[in-house]
Structure 1
Amino acid sequence: MEELIIDLNQISEEEGKALVELARIAIEEYLKSGKIIDLKEIPYENWKKKGASFVTLERKDTGQLRGCIGSIIPFRPLYQDVISNAIAAATKDPRFVPVSLEELPLLNIKVSILSFPQKLEYSTPEDLLNKIKPFEDGLILKLNNNQGTFLPDVWEDLPDKKEFMSHLCLKAGLPPDCWLKYHPDIFIYKTKVFS
């Protein structure tokens, strides 16, 4: 079985910065030629392990989000996950028009590597709020066929735990009080972010 990335500290700053560069090259090549790059040589062992990543594009001038797509569960080598999510963030995020080649230099690219999600056991909504750690935890909320996730970065916009949970319900296509009424499954993960 292919190895998973278990510990985020496995990934050095150097590897992370190289992943950001890889994301930029992948987007550029795709916008120019419609081709998905493939690496002949994989420069780091960790890149061959299965990893889950999110690629976030933001305007350098305004900090506004311009695209964000990712994987929650690792199912392919990390470098392929980053390439694929980078292209998707630039061209397939339904909230935005696709990024143009001219616009690419104006964007900051962030690559977040996710730890494997762990199920959070909780008894009541209060207990849930006590157990989640703002600015540290990424959350996945799951109820029947609905699912949504927020990366830890989202705490910067929604630092209030109750508001965070309500928005997460909405993101999953559920009413904002779903976390109070229905006891959804909650999974927690950490991220390591490079930009």
Structure 2
Amino acid sequence: MHSTEPRIGRNAEQTYEDPQRASLIETASRSIAHGLEHGSPLTVEPDDYPEPLREPRATFVTLHIARDLRGCIGVLEPRRPLVVDVAQNAFAAAFEDPRFPRLRKQEFGRLAIQISVLSPAEPIDFQSETELLNRIRPGRDGLILRAGRHRGTFLPSVWEQIPDPTEFLEHLKRKAGLPFGYWSADIEILRYTTESFGSTSV
């Protein structure tokens, strides 16, 4: 039997009640199913949901099949109601992540969906890379890197694969299109936390 029981991510602080989490997971699943049938995300009416799900929040939706990444799309700044953001990002993770082909119908039943709701990002004050590394909180911080036209972010869940702060930062540089070992006084780093929860499969 497929489970849609909300599960708390390792770094999560529970703000949303379990029924609200379950509603968001269901919305993400329905939006992907709608995309398979109609080629567009599910249209969500925020007034049909409780107030906490109507507030503007930034989210990422991550998809896995048998623990292999199958898509991950999100935004870093709140610009639409939480439930709408989840519906849009779930569709985008399934069909618009450039790293993967569009999701196929035969894959849908094997999807595991994880939703990460982001806190507002805050800049980290530092004068050197060593000082920055000392201020990063492994396992808790999601990081946003900005350097000129280069941009990149890692969710806190990435610490599970890259637990060392130095390696974490170096891989984030690479994701942003910068070489390993790059450093400049113009680098900006912001941090955020997430409340993460999901389903084992749809």
Matched residues in 2 for 1:150 and 1:56: separation?
Answer: 12
Specify the code of the residue in structure 1 equivalent to 2:50.
Y
Partner amino acid, structure 1, of 2:107:
E
| Unaligned runs of at least 5 residues, structure 1 | 1-7
Match of 2:51 among 45, 56, 81: 45
Residue of structure 1 aligned with 2:105, choices 91, 101, 108: 101
Pairwise CA RMSD: 1.4
Question: In the aligned structure 1, how far is the partner of 2:131 from the partner of 2:18?
Answer: 36
Q: How does 1:43-192 map to 2 (within 5 A)?
A: 43-59=49-65, 61=66, 63-178=67-182, 180-192=183-195
Superposed CA deviations along residues 121-155 of structure 1, whole A, max 9, x for unmatched, are 01111111111111100000001111100000001
Relative contact order higher in (CA < 8 Å, ≥ 6 apart)? 2
Calculate the TM-score normalised by the size of structure 1: 0.90
Give the corresponding residue for 1:5: none
CA shift for structure 1 position 11: 2.1
Q: Point out 4+ residue stretches in structure 1 off by more than 4 angstroms.
A: none
Are 1:22 and 2:31 counterparts?
A: no
Q: Is the 8 A contact 1:54 1:70 kept in 2?
A: yes
Quick one: distance in 2 between partners of 1:50 and 1:16? 16
Instruction: Give deviations 1:32-72, integer Å, cap 9, x for gaps.
Output: 1123322345221012111000000001x3x0100000010
Across the two proteins, how many residue pairs are aligned to each other?
Answer: 185
Please state how far the C-alpha of 1:17 moved relative to its aligned partner: 2.1
Identity %: 39
